[in-house]
Amino acid sequence: MILSQKGWFRAHIAPRIFGLWGLLFFVPLTIIFYPFYIFFLFIPDPYKTYWHKKTTYLYMSCFLTLSGCRMKVYGKENIKKDVQYIIAFNHNSFMDVMFGLPFLPIIKGTKFLSKKSMMLVPFLNIIFASGAVLIDRKSKESRNTSIVKMKYILENYKLSMAIYPEGSRNRTDVPLTKFYNGAFTIAVETKLQILPVLLFNTTEPFPPDKFFYLWPANMEMHILPPHDPYNIDVEQLRDNVFHTMYTYYEKHDKVLSKNN
């Protein structure tokens, strides 16, 4: 009986206490950093993206520390200094952009592709508007326009571009869902390498099916060796990257499960 009561407290009460604690420091942190993101709306790239990443790194470092969470990064040696990449992330949490991109060790900064509906989310809307290429996935015209914008940014500002090729959050029990072609089309056309990056445990602090919930968690980012876009078509590059990420995720997730 006592054990079941402890389990119930851990599952339902303790995360809400942490959630209240998180709200108490999230609000002042956001008030402090929000003006910087408004300012970023009015400065040009590549400076905007460079300072956006620096600011978000500081913002999220404070947030993760105060919430008892950690982000550990593996595979930094797979990123070469001053090299542009098309970065393919897996996507499990609505906070993947905030948890992942700031800790990716790319010096010049990284733009990211995000759905236009993020503009409806208070606070996050300005953060995304100042750092992302926005897309309405239901509109073919918007999808085509976003590809043109991304190619322009890659060619003119020499930044990297982060894309979530699953298209939306993976709510299934499999490591990855089907990849769309966009990231791989851009890689083949611009001759930039695809850098696969896997995030683990990013749903632990904020489970998608829980409300007003926060739980300290150890999250991980694994940067895998890049894939060359030379002498390969879009579909084959997509399938190769998918297989690499799926296999690695499946293997490492089992290791994490055993350790936990």
171-184: pLDDT as tens digits: 888 999 999 999 99
Burial (CB count within 10 angstroms: exposed 0-12, middle 13-18, buried 19+), residue 248: middle
Kindly report the average pLDDT of the chain as a whole number: 89
User: Each residue of 34-54: b (16+ CB within 10 Å) or e?
Assistant: eebbeebeeeebeebbbbbbe
Domain of residue 34, CATH code: 3.40.1130.10
Which token pair is 124? 């996050």
Alpha helix stretches (DSSP H) within the chain: 2-8, 14-40, 47-67, 96-100, 124-129, 140-157, 182-190, 234-259
**pLDDT class for 259, splitting at 50, 70, 90?**
low
**Region 158-170: what's the mean pLDDT?**
92
* Domain of 66, in residue numbers: 2-259
CA distance to 96, 245, 249, per residue, from 253 (Å): 17, 12, 6
**Region 238-249: what's the mean pLDDT?**
96
pLDDT digits (tens, 9 = 90+) for 108-120: 789 998 888 888 8
Q: What totals of helices (H) and strands (E) does the chain contain, helices first?
A: 8, 7
**Sheet of strand 132-135: strand arrangement:** 70-74, 218-223, 194-200, 86-89, 160-163, 110-115, 132-135
**Please, are residues 86 and 161 in contact by the beta-carbon 8 Å criterion?**
yes
Which token pair is 165? 């090729």
d(CA 73, CA 76) in angstroms, rounded, equals 7
248: Cα within 13 Å, side-chain hemisphere:
20
Residue type, 128: F
To 10 degrees, what angle do helices 234-259 and 182-190 make? Answer: 120
**Region 146-166: what's the mean pLDDT?**
93
| Closest C-alpha to 21, from 212, 202, 204 | 212
**pLDDT class for 249, splitting at 50, 70, 90?**
very high
> Whole-prediction pTM value?
0.91
d(CA 227, CA 204) in angstroms, rounded, equals 30
Burial (CB count within 10 angstroms: exposed 0-12, middle 13-18, buried 19+), residue 231: exposed
Total structural domains within the chain: 1
